Amino acid sequence: MTTTLTQPVRLESELAARIVDGPGGYTGVEAGAEWAAEVRRLVKLRNATILAHNYQLPAIQDIADHVGDSLALARAAAAAPEQTIVFCGVHFMAESAKILSPEKTVLIPDERAGCSLADSITGADLREWKAEHPDAVVVSYVNTTAEVKALTDICCTSSNAVDVVESIDPDREVLFLPDQFLGAHVKRVTGRDNIHIWAGECHVHAGINGDELTAQVEASPDAELFVHPECGCATSALYLAGEGTVPEERVKILSTGGMLDQASQTAAKKVLVATEVGMLYQLRKAAPDVDFQPVNDRAACPYMKMITPAALLRSLAAGADEVHVDAQTAHAARRSVERMIEHGNPGSGE
């Protein structure tokens, strides 16, 4: 669906002609000065603001008005004075922005930018799971669709997942979804045995495994480790710390926002980073003297990378793709997100 402008939008013909809709998304436009000028012209014309997730391409991060994690961006969308939000991230994140600011127009440059983790559980799956555990409290990580959030009691981020679960009556069962690695981390820290964990995973994070981490740690014994708790290697990182292979204080299990905070405080010369590789761009900008290296340099999210310079230009010119969440779903989803904010420090999402 598209939204229209009161003023006609003129796309520079050369730029427009280069936008190609290929299998991986919209391509064919160089992110040069001409593109940047056209993007800024359209942003002004549309009274819009551009928000970009930490995993976006560097050119998209550089042109955005705000760069951050999913929760920080949803809050920035709600606080923005502009009426139109152009959300450069994946679809569930744009939905969260819409849930928190229903009166605004939210655009995503390519609505096909999904998320394998959010897609690992549907509303129908969750209804069935709840029916099997009718007294359980449902805790959902923010990487979920609006429909799943609407069926959730409390959302959580990787920063406050432990606090949220600890706030629940120890005698109540907990259904934790959708990420099995974050669920395992929460179960280990809280020591709860009445927590059921959905077997979902992000294919990008799951691909960062313990063997690669061990090899990298052995090659750089003085490096610090920044590990996102959704990573397949989060358990390995804690194990290596327990074994003394890496001193415990050098292993940091952090959300993406937490990684940025830690980057400016670390005394380490080298940091191994276990999350999506787009994060390295922000970390290197935040602490240019630190050598940040990926644990797996192939860990790139193909959905995040669908938000190309061409897709952003198309979005601003055509008012597409608009994100819609029906009022009833948005109301219920908003409640579970607001409860998350009341419990501990939500910090940031992915």
* Chain-centroid distance, C-alpha 94: 10
Of 276, 329, 334, 343, the residue at the interface with ligand SF4 (CB under 6 A) is 276
Listed ranges 22-30, 183-191, 296-304, 327-335: which one lies at the site for ligand SF4 (CB under 6 A):
296-304
Q: Which is nearer to ligand SF4, 74 or 90 (CB)?
A: 90
Number of residues that bind ligand SF4 (CB under 6 A): 13
For β-strands 20-22 and 25-27, DSSP reports them as antiparallel
Q: Closest distance between ligand SF4 and the C-beta of residue 56, in Å?
A: 11
- Check residue 46 for interaction with ligand SF4 (CB under 6 A): no
Of 205, 250, 314, 334, the residue at the interface with ligand SF4 (CB under 6 A) is 205
What's the alpha-carbon Rg for the chain, to the nearest Å?
Answer: 20
Confirm whether residue 38 is marked as ligand binding: no
Listed ranges 13-21, 201-209, 264-272, 325-333: which one lies at the site for ligand SF4 (CB under 6 A):
201-209
Residues 192-197: contacts with CB under 8 Å, at least 24 apart = 192/165, 194/170, 195/165, 196/133, 196/136
Please confirm whether the linkage preceding 291 is cis (ω < 30° from 0). Answer: no
Q: Closest distance between ligand SF4 and the C-beta of residue 51, in Å?
A: 15
Which amino acid would we find at residue 220?
A: S
Cα dihedral value 47, 52, 57, 58, nearest 10: 80
Burial of 65 (0-12, 13-18, 19+ CB in 10 A): middle
Q: Which is nearer to ligand SF4, 286 or 300 (CB)?
A: 300
- Check residue 147 for interaction with ligand SF4 (CB under 6 A): no
Q: Which is nearer to ligand SF4, 204 or 272 (CB)?
A: 204
Q: Closest distance between ligand SF4 and the C-beta of residue 255, in Å?
A: 12
Closest of 71, 76, 27 to residue 51, by C-alpha: 76
- Check residue 190 for interaction with ligand SF4 (CB under 6 A): no
- Check residue 90 for interaction with ligand SF4 (CB under 6 A): yes
- Check residue 153 for interaction with ligand SF4 (CB under 6 A): no
Q: What number of H helices and E strands is found in the chain?
A: 16, 14
- Check residue 306 for interaction with ligand SF4 (CB under 6 A): no
Confirm whether residue 231 is marked as ligand binding: no
For β-strands 84-88 and 66-68, DSSP reports them as unpaired
Q: Closest distance between ligand SF4 and the C-beta of residue 179, in Å?
A: 8
Please confirm whether the linkage preceding 178 is cis (ω < 30° from 0). Answer: yes
- Check residue 148 for interaction with ligand SF4 (CB under 6 A): no
Angle, vertex CA 75, rays to CA 276 and CA 65, nearest 5: 70
Q: Which is nearer to ligand SF4, 57 or 317 (CB)?
A: 57
Which residues sit at the interface with ligand SF4, rule CB under 6 A?
A: 90, 115-117, 143, 202, 204-205, 276, 301, 303-304, 350
